Amino acid sequence: MAMSEKSPSSKKNYHHGNLRKTLLDEAAILLREQGEAGLSMRKLADRVGVSRTAPYHHFKDKRELLCAIAEEGFRQFRLAIHPPELAGSFSIDQQRIRQLVKDYVDFAIGHSEYYDLMFGSHLWKTEGLTETLKEEAYGAFRSYLDGFSAWQGQPAVTADLDPLRFAQVSWGTLHGMSRLLLDGIYVDDKAREAMCEATAQMFWRALRA
Protein backbone atom coordinates (compact mmCIF):
# COMPACT_ATOMS: atom_id res chain seq x y z
CA MET A 1 0.00 0.00 0.00
CA ALA A 2 1.27 3.46 -0.87
CA MET A 3 2.91 5.39 1.90
CA SER A 4 0.34 8.15 1.47
CA GLU A 5 -2.25 5.82 2.98
CA LYS A 6 -0.53 5.86 6.36
CA SER A 7 -1.21 8.56 8.87
CA PRO A 8 1.86 10.42 10.18
CA SER A 9 1.26 9.05 13.66
CA SER A 10 1.03 5.42 12.59
CA LYS A 11 3.46 3.15 14.41
CA LYS A 12 2.62 0.14 12.25
CA ASN A 13 4.24 -0.73 8.97
CA TYR A 14 1.68 -2.09 6.50
CA HIS A 15 2.66 -2.93 2.99
CA HIS A 16 0.67 -3.54 -0.16
CA GLY A 17 0.15 -7.21 0.55
CA ASN A 18 -1.41 -7.16 4.01
CA LEU A 19 -3.48 -4.01 4.54
CA ARG A 20 -6.75 -5.59 3.38
CA LYS A 21 -6.31 -8.50 5.79
CA THR A 22 -5.35 -6.13 8.59
CA LEU A 23 -8.48 -4.08 7.97
CA LEU A 24 -10.63 -7.22 8.08
CA ASP A 25 -9.00 -8.48 11.27
CA GLU A 26 -9.38 -5.14 13.04
CA ALA A 27 -12.96 -4.76 11.80
CA ALA A 28 -13.82 -8.14 13.34
CA ILE A 29 -12.34 -7.00 16.65
CA LEU A 30 -14.37 -3.80 16.50
CA LEU A 31 -17.50 -5.83 15.84
CA ARG A 32 -16.85 -7.96 18.89
CA GLU A 33 -16.14 -4.95 21.10
CA GLN A 34 -18.75 -2.46 19.89
CA GLY A 35 -21.19 -4.27 17.62
CA GLU A 36 -22.10 -3.35 14.08
CA ALA A 37 -23.25 0.13 15.11
CA GLY A 38 -19.78 0.84 16.48
CA LEU A 39 -18.01 -0.09 13.26
CA SER A 40 -17.33 2.64 10.71
CA MET A 41 -14.81 3.06 7.92
CA ARG A 42 -13.43 6.13 9.67
CA LYS A 43 -13.05 4.41 13.03
CA LEU A 44 -11.44 1.41 11.34
CA ALA A 45 -8.87 3.61 9.59
CA ASP A 46 -8.00 5.32 12.87
CA ARG A 47 -7.72 1.97 14.62
CA VAL A 48 -5.33 0.58 12.01
CA GLY A 49 -3.37 3.80 11.73
CA VAL A 50 -3.93 4.61 8.06
CA SER A 51 -5.51 7.55 6.28
CA ARG A 52 -9.30 7.68 6.39
CA THR A 53 -9.48 7.11 2.64
CA ALA A 54 -7.33 3.96 2.75
CA PRO A 55 -10.14 1.48 3.61
CA TYR A 56 -12.09 2.67 0.56
CA HIS A 57 -9.29 1.39 -1.66
CA HIS A 58 -10.32 -2.11 -0.56
CA PHE A 59 -14.04 -1.80 0.25
CA LYS A 60 -16.36 0.64 -1.48
CA ASP A 61 -18.49 1.12 1.64
CA LYS A 62 -19.32 -0.34 5.04
CA ARG A 63 -21.70 -2.90 3.56
CA GLU A 64 -19.00 -4.34 1.32
CA LEU A 65 -16.70 -4.47 4.34
CA LEU A 66 -19.34 -6.38 6.32
CA CYS A 67 -19.78 -8.85 3.46
CA ALA A 68 -16.02 -9.40 3.38
CA ILE A 69 -15.95 -10.02 7.15
CA ALA A 70 -18.77 -12.54 6.77
CA GLU A 71 -16.86 -14.25 3.95
CA GLU A 72 -13.87 -14.68 6.24
CA GLY A 73 -16.22 -16.02 8.89
CA PHE A 74 -17.54 -18.70 6.56
CA ARG A 75 -13.99 -19.69 5.59
CA GLN A 76 -13.04 -20.12 9.25
CA PHE A 77 -16.34 -21.88 9.97
CA ARG A 78 -15.73 -24.45 7.24
CA LEU A 79 -12.29 -25.23 8.65
CA ALA A 80 -13.73 -25.51 12.16
CA ILE A 81 -16.37 -28.11 11.30
CA HIS A 82 -14.22 -29.88 8.68
CA PRO A 83 -10.68 -29.77 10.07
CA PRO A 84 -7.93 -30.53 7.53
CA GLU A 85 -6.80 -33.62 9.44
CA LEU A 86 -10.16 -35.27 8.63
CA ALA A 87 -10.06 -34.47 4.92
CA GLY A 88 -10.77 -37.60 2.91
CA SER A 89 -11.97 -39.52 5.96
CA PHE A 90 -15.52 -40.78 5.55
CA SER A 91 -15.84 -43.07 8.56
CA ILE A 92 -18.76 -42.45 10.87
CA ASP A 93 -19.27 -43.19 14.54
CA GLN A 94 -20.91 -41.53 17.51
CA GLN A 95 -17.73 -39.70 18.49
CA ARG A 96 -17.49 -38.13 15.03
CA ILE A 97 -21.04 -36.80 15.39
CA ARG A 98 -20.30 -35.58 18.91
CA GLN A 99 -17.22 -33.71 17.64
CA LEU A 100 -19.19 -32.12 14.80
CA VAL A 101 -21.76 -30.75 17.23
CA LYS A 102 -19.06 -29.46 19.57
CA ASP A 103 -17.06 -27.84 16.75
CA TYR A 104 -20.13 -26.05 15.42
CA VAL A 105 -21.21 -24.66 18.78
CA ASP A 106 -17.65 -23.79 19.82
CA PHE A 107 -17.21 -21.75 16.65
CA ALA A 108 -20.49 -19.89 17.16
CA ILE A 109 -19.68 -19.03 20.78
CA GLY A 110 -15.98 -18.36 20.28
CA HIS A 111 -16.39 -16.28 17.12
CA SER A 112 -19.67 -14.52 17.77
CA GLU A 113 -18.54 -11.41 15.90
CA TYR A 114 -18.41 -13.52 12.74
CA TYR A 115 -21.36 -15.79 13.48
CA ASP A 116 -23.84 -12.98 14.16
CA LEU A 117 -22.89 -11.36 10.88
CA MET A 118 -22.76 -14.56 8.82
CA PHE A 119 -26.35 -15.47 9.62
CA GLY A 120 -27.81 -12.01 10.22
CA SER A 121 -31.00 -11.17 8.33
CA HIS A 122 -29.87 -7.55 7.94
CA LEU A 123 -27.17 -8.84 5.60
CA TRP A 124 -29.15 -11.47 3.71
CA LYS A 125 -32.48 -9.70 3.34
CA THR A 126 -31.22 -6.44 1.90
CA GLU A 127 -29.71 -5.32 -1.39
CA GLY A 128 -26.01 -5.41 -2.14
CA LEU A 129 -25.01 -8.90 -1.06
CA THR A 130 -21.73 -9.70 -2.78
CA GLU A 131 -21.36 -12.72 -5.03
CA THR A 132 -18.23 -13.79 -3.20
CA LEU A 133 -20.16 -13.93 0.08
CA LYS A 134 -22.84 -16.08 -1.53
CA GLU A 135 -20.16 -18.42 -2.85
CA GLU A 136 -18.52 -18.79 0.56
CA ALA A 137 -21.83 -19.29 2.38
CA TYR A 138 -23.24 -21.83 -0.05
CA GLY A 139 -19.84 -23.50 -0.24
CA ALA A 140 -19.85 -23.95 3.53
CA PHE A 141 -23.23 -25.68 3.37
CA ARG A 142 -22.17 -27.86 0.44
CA SER A 143 -19.13 -28.94 2.42
CA TYR A 144 -21.37 -29.76 5.39
CA LEU A 145 -23.75 -31.69 3.11
CA ASP A 146 -20.89 -33.62 1.49
CA GLY A 147 -20.04 -35.16 4.84
CA PHE A 148 -23.49 -36.75 5.13
CA SER A 149 -23.53 -37.73 1.46
CA ALA A 150 -20.25 -39.60 2.00
CA TRP A 151 -21.85 -41.59 4.82
CA GLN A 152 -24.78 -42.68 2.68
CA GLY A 153 -24.61 -46.40 1.93
CA GLN A 154 -22.31 -47.25 4.82
CA PRO A 155 -23.43 -50.29 6.86
CA ALA A 156 -23.88 -48.26 10.05
CA VAL A 157 -26.13 -45.70 8.34
CA THR A 158 -29.83 -46.10 7.61
CA ALA A 159 -30.69 -46.81 3.99
CA ASP A 160 -33.41 -44.17 4.24
CA LEU A 161 -30.95 -41.34 4.80
CA ASP A 162 -31.68 -38.26 2.70
CA PRO A 163 -28.38 -36.36 2.99
CA LEU A 164 -29.83 -33.01 1.91
CA ARG A 165 -32.74 -33.03 4.34
CA PHE A 166 -30.59 -34.35 7.17
CA ALA A 167 -28.03 -31.62 6.52
CA GLN A 168 -30.71 -28.92 6.46
CA VAL A 169 -32.45 -30.10 9.63
CA SER A 170 -29.26 -30.79 11.59
CA TRP A 171 -27.78 -27.41 10.58
CA GLY A 172 -31.01 -25.73 11.67
CA THR A 173 -30.86 -27.55 15.00
CA LEU A 174 -27.26 -26.53 15.63
CA HIS A 175 -27.96 -22.95 14.61
CA GLY A 176 -30.98 -22.74 16.90
CA MET A 177 -29.04 -24.10 19.85
CA SER A 178 -26.15 -21.73 19.14
CA ARG A 179 -28.54 -18.79 18.98
CA LEU A 180 -30.02 -19.68 22.37
CA LEU A 181 -26.53 -19.76 23.85
CA LEU A 182 -25.39 -16.55 22.14
CA ASP A 183 -28.52 -14.68 23.20
CA GLY A 184 -27.92 -15.60 26.84
CA ILE A 185 -30.98 -17.80 27.28
CA TYR A 186 -28.70 -20.65 28.35
CA VAL A 187 -25.37 -19.56 29.78
CA ASP A 188 -24.40 -22.36 32.15
CA ASP A 189 -21.50 -24.45 30.81
CA LYS A 190 -23.04 -27.67 32.12
CA ALA A 191 -26.29 -26.93 30.30
CA ARG A 192 -24.32 -26.25 27.13
CA GLU A 193 -22.43 -29.53 27.40
CA ALA A 194 -25.63 -31.46 28.14
CA MET A 195 -27.42 -29.87 25.18
CA CYS A 196 -24.54 -30.74 22.86
CA GLU A 197 -24.49 -34.33 24.07
CA ALA A 198 -28.27 -34.70 23.69
CA THR A 199 -28.07 -33.25 20.19
CA ALA A 200 -25.27 -35.63 19.19
CA GLN A 201 -27.26 -38.60 20.49
CA MET A 202 -30.35 -37.45 18.61
CA PHE A 203 -28.39 -37.13 15.36
CA TRP A 204 -26.78 -40.52 15.88
CA ARG A 205 -30.12 -42.25 16.46
CA ALA A 206 -31.49 -40.65 13.29
CA LEU A 207 -28.49 -41.80 11.24
CA ARG A 208 -28.15 -45.36 12.48
CA ALA A 209 -29.40 -48.28 10.43
Give the pTM: 0.85
Least trusted range by pLDDT, from 8-22, 27-41, 126-140: 8-22
- Bridge partner list, 39: none
Q: Would you state the pLDDT for residue 56? A: 94
- Can you give the residue range of the structural domain that contains 21? 1-59
Do 102 and 173 fall within a single domain? yes
Q: Would you state the pLDDT for residue 88? A: 57
pLDDT at 50 over 70: yes
Least trusted range by pLDDT, from 17-21, 61-65, 117-121: 17-21
Do 49 and 125 fall within a single domain? no
As a whole number, mean pLDDT of residues 155-172 equals 95
Contacts of 14 (CB under 8 A, 6+ apart): 1, 5, 6, 22, 48, 50
Q: Would you state the pLDDT for residue 206? A: 95
Return the CATH number at 4. 1.10.10.60
Examine residue 166 and state whether it is found in any structural domain, yes or no: yes
Q: Would you state the pLDDT for residue 109? A: 95
Q: Would you state the pLDDT for residue 73? A: 97
What backbone torsions phi and psi does residue 61 show, to the nearest 5 degrees? Answer: -160, 180
Q: Would you state the pLDDT for residue 121? A: 87
Last residue of a domain, one of 10, 33, 59: 59
Which is more confident, 154 or 1? Answer: 154
Do 129 and 195 fall within a single domain? yes
Examine residue 65 and state whether it is found in any structural domain, yes or no: no
Q: Would you state the pLDDT for residue 6? A: 42
Overall number of domains in the chain: 2
Examine residue 64 and state whether it is found in any structural domain, yes or no: no
Do 76 and 105 fall within a single domain? yes
Least trusted range by pLDDT, from 53-67, 81-95, 129-143, 158-172: 81-95
As a whole number, mean pLDDT of residues 15-25 equals 82
CA distance readout (Å), 27 to 20, 168, 183:
10, 30, 22
d(CA 43, CA 31): 12
Do 101 and 24 fall within a single domain? no
Last residue of a domain, one of 31, 59, 87: 59
Examine residue 134 and state whether it is found in any structural domain, yes or no: yes
Do 83 and 9 fall within a single domain? no
The pLDDT tens digits of the residues spanning 81-137 come to 987 666 556 678 899 999 999 999 999 999 999 999 999 988 998 888 999 999 999
Which is more confident, 167 or 122? Answer: 167
